[in-house]
Amino acid sequence: MSDIILLKQGEIVLKGLNKRSFEMKLISNVKRRLKPFGDFKVYALQSTVYVEPQNDDCDMDGAFEAVQTVFGIASVSRAACCEKDKDAIFETAKEYLRDAMMCARSFKVESKRSDKRFPMTSIQLSQYVGGLLAEEFPDVKVDVHNPELTIHLEVRDYAAYVHGPNIEGAGGMPVGANGRVVSLLSGGIDSPVSTYLAAKRGVQIIPVHFFSFPYTSEQAKEKVLELAGILTKYCGRLMVEIVPFTHIQEEIRDKCPEEYFTVIMRRFMMRISQRIADLNGCSAMVTGENLGQVASQTLEAMYVTEVCARLPIIRPLICHDKKEIVEIARKIGTFETSILPYEDCCTVFTPKHPRTKPRLDDVIEAEKPLDIDALVEEAVANIERVAIQ
Ligand code: ATP
Ligand code: MG
Give the pLDDT confidence of 83-126 residue by residue, as tens digits: 999 999 999 999 999 999 999 999 999 999 988 899 999 999 99
Q: How many CA atoms lie within 13 A of 150 on its CB side?
A: 13
30 has pLDDT over 90: yes
Which residue's CA is minimally distant from atom 7 of ligand 1? 188
Structure confidence by residue, pLDDT tens digits, 141-198 = 999 999 999 999 999 888 899 998 889 999 999 999 999 999 999 999 999 999 999 9
Average pLDDT, stretch 358-386? Answer: 97
Backbone angles phi, psi at 68, to 5 degrees: -70, -10
DSSP state of 249: H
| Residue 83: its H or E element | none
Using alpha carbons, select from 226, 228, 119, 237 the residue that is nearest to residue 176. Answer: 237
**What's the Cα-to-Cα distance from 95 to each of 37, 115, 164, rounded to whole Å?**
25, 24, 12
Average pLDDT, stretch 274-290? Answer: 97
374 has pLDDT over 80: yes
Q: Residue 112: its pLDDT value, please?
A: 92
Return d(Cα 275, Cα 380) in angstroms, integer.
8
Distance 185 CA to ligand 2 centre (A): 9
- Is residue 116 classed exposed, middle or buried when 0-12, 13-18 and 19+ CB atoms within 10 A define those classes? exposed
Which atom, in ligand 1's list, is nearest to the CA of 191?
Answer: 3
Q: Which of 181, 183, 190 to mutate to test the pocket of ligand 1 (most atoms within 8 A of CB)?
A: 190
13 has pLDDT over 70: no
Which residue's CA is minimally distant from atom 20 of ligand 1? 287
10 has pLDDT over 70: yes
Percent of the chain with pLDDT over 70: 98
Cite the beta strand spans of 186-336 per DSSP E: 204-211, 238-244, 284-286, 313-314
Return d(Cα 190, Cα 197) in angstroms, integer.
11
Return d(Cα 252, Cα 371) in angstroms, integer.
10
Q: Count CB atoms within 10 A of the CB of residue 185.
A: 29
Return d(Cα 227, Cα 186) in angstroms, integer.
9
Q: Which amino acid is at 260?
A: Y
Give the ligand with the smallest distance to the CA of 189.
Answer: 1
Distance 188 CA to ligand 1 centre (A): 7
346 has pLDDT over 80: no
Q: Residue 1: its pLDDT value, please?
A: 53
265 in Cβ contact with 354 (< 8 Å): no
Using alpha carbons, select from 164, 104, 113, 165 the residue that is nearest to residue 134. Answer: 104
Return d(Cα 12, Cα 33) in angstroms, integer.
19
Q: Residue 296: its pLDDT value, please?
A: 76
Give the ligand with the smallest distance to the CA of 350.
Answer: 1
Beta-carbon contacts of residue 4 (< 8 Å; ≥ 6 apart) = 50, 51, 52, 53, 78, 79, 80, 81, 161
Distance 338 CA to ligand 2 centre (A): 9
Distance 256 CA to ligand 2 centre (A): 22
More confident of the two residues 37 and 295: 37
Distance 191 CA to ligand 1 centre (A): 6
Q: Which of 185, 186, 272 to mutate to test the pocket of ligand 1 (most atoms within 8 A of CB)?
A: 186
CA 290: distance to chain centroid? 20
Instruction: Point out the least confidently predicted range of 88-92, 256-260, 347-351, 384-388.
Output: 347-351
Q: Residue 120: its pLDDT value, please?
A: 95
Give the ligand with the smallest distance to the CA of 288.
Answer: 1
SS3 255: helix
Using alpha carbons, select from 151, 177, 156 the residue that is nearest to residue 73. Answer: 177
Q: How many CA atoms lie within 13 A of 10 on its CB side?
A: 22
Backbone angles phi, psi at 239, to 5 degrees: -115, 105
First-to-final CA distance of the chain: 34
Which residues lie with the beta carbon below 6 Å from any ligand 1 atom? 184-186, 188-191, 208-210, 287-289, 293-294, 296-297, 344-346
Which residue's CA is minimally distant from atom 23 of ligand 1? 186
